[in-house]
Amino acid sequence: MALLSVIVPCYNEEENVHYFYEELMKNEQFFKEKQLDVEIIYIDDGSTDDTVAEVKKLREKDKRIKMVSFSRNFGKESAIYAGFKKAQGDYVVMMDADLQDPPSLLPEMFSYLEQGYDSVATRRVTRKGEPAIRSFFARAFYKIMNKISKTDIVDGARDYRLMKRKVVDAILSMGEYNRFSKGIFGWVGYETKWIEYENVERAHGETKWSFWKLFLYSIEGITAFSTAPLAVASIMGVLFCILAFILIVFILIRSLVWTDPVGGWPSLVCIISMVSGVQLFCLGIVGQYLSKTYLEVKKRPIYLVKEEI
Ligand code: UDP
Ligand code: MG
């Protein structure tokens, strides 16, 4: 028998814990056919509702259920990492608790592993049910990201992935503190099959990602998988040096030929404020990378466990 580990990150998902389990278990027949043992690992990401109690209730009924509970909310990326660490399966799959990653796709995904693929990833082709402005920024993010990063990051990709042990081990070997899974999956490579599906709306509760949280997460993604902004900063510096040189020559000649007295104060103020703006902007970019390095160097744990079952 092979073991399949199902990782479910949960942050305040009390209504979904049970519902998810039921949906997943509709695949029971398929698990039997393929001789798969299953372990379901709920990662409680510091929930403040009854998520933990719900998981424990399930555990009474089904001993295949496991749980890692964090000491506080560490974020989905940490939950994913904890799940990978805990998982013992020969195959590992990660799914959201809100059923936006339909468990009914599992048999199809598994069939690709049998065909020889190392991992099967999913991507939603529509973003229906999502605010238009959020879709717009998400699209823009993926466009920019793919221009400035060598790592392939697919638009609409979900974290819903089924993979073989070797891929999981590769991901675990990346112990970085600033985690951006979509980039990490792309970075480790391996033979990946993409399957597409229509966006499914959340079963219960509300999304845990505010626009601001997503914005910060996108910066996380950029700094983790691209150093292009640093190059932009340098290029801007060079351009402004060239511009300054041309201006100096122009002003020198003008004052030698026409002995122009004081004048041009407004233009001077404009130039000074613009250049200092650019300087601060570039300093900010450098600061972003420095802060990431700072956090990385501290080697803080990615998550802390309060309780484990
Ligand atoms: N999640 C988590 N920690 C967080 C935020 C979210 O573990 O800090 C989990 C959440 O419980 C869900 C999954 O990550 O199972 C996806 O979150 P959500 O559905 O809110 O995101 P969306 O689908 O809207 O992108
Ligand atoms: Mg969701």
Buried/exposed code over 132-167 (b: 16+ C-beta within 10 A; e: otherwise)? eeeeeebeebbeebbeebebbbbebbbbbbbbbbeb
Decide whether any atom of ligand 1 lies within 6 Å of the 94 Cβ. Answer: no
Q: What is residue 178's predicted lDDT score, i.e. its pLDDT?
A: 85
Pocket test for ligand 1, best of 10, 11, 161, 199 (most atoms within 8 A of CB): 11
How far does residue 97's CA lie from ligand 1's centre (Å)? Answer: 8
Decide whether any atom of ligand 1 lies within 6 Å of the 199 Cβ. Answer: no
Rounded to whole angstroms, how far apart are CA atoms 139 and 173? 30
Decide whether any atom of ligand 1 lies within 6 Å of the 79 Cβ. Answer: yes
Q: What is residue 154's predicted lDDT score, i.e. its pLDDT?
A: 81
Decide whether any atom of ligand 1 lies within 6 Å of the 96 Cβ. Answer: yes
Ligand nearest to the CA of 158: 1
How far does residue 138's CA lie from ligand 2's centre (Å)? Answer: 15
Q: In what side-by-side order are the strands of the sheet with 192-197?
A: 192-197, 119-124, 157-164, 91-94, 2-10, 36-44, 65-70, 305-308
Q: What is residue 261's predicted lDDT score, i.e. its pLDDT?
A: 66
Residue-level pLDDT, tens digit, the chain, 309 residues? 889 999 999 999 888 998 899 999 988 898 889 888 999 999 999 999 899 998 999 999 888 999 999 999 998 999 999 999 999 999 999 999 988 888 988 999 999 999 999 999 998 887 777 788 888 888 888 888 888 887 778 888 888 999 999 999 999 998 888 888 888 998 888 889 999 888 887 778 788 888 888 888 888 888 888 888 888 888 888 888 888 888 888 888 887 887 766 677 777 877 887 888 888 888 888 888 998 899 889 888 899 988 888
Rounded to whole angstroms, how far apart are CA atoms 278 and 4? 52
From the CA of 12, give the closest atom in ligand 1: 11
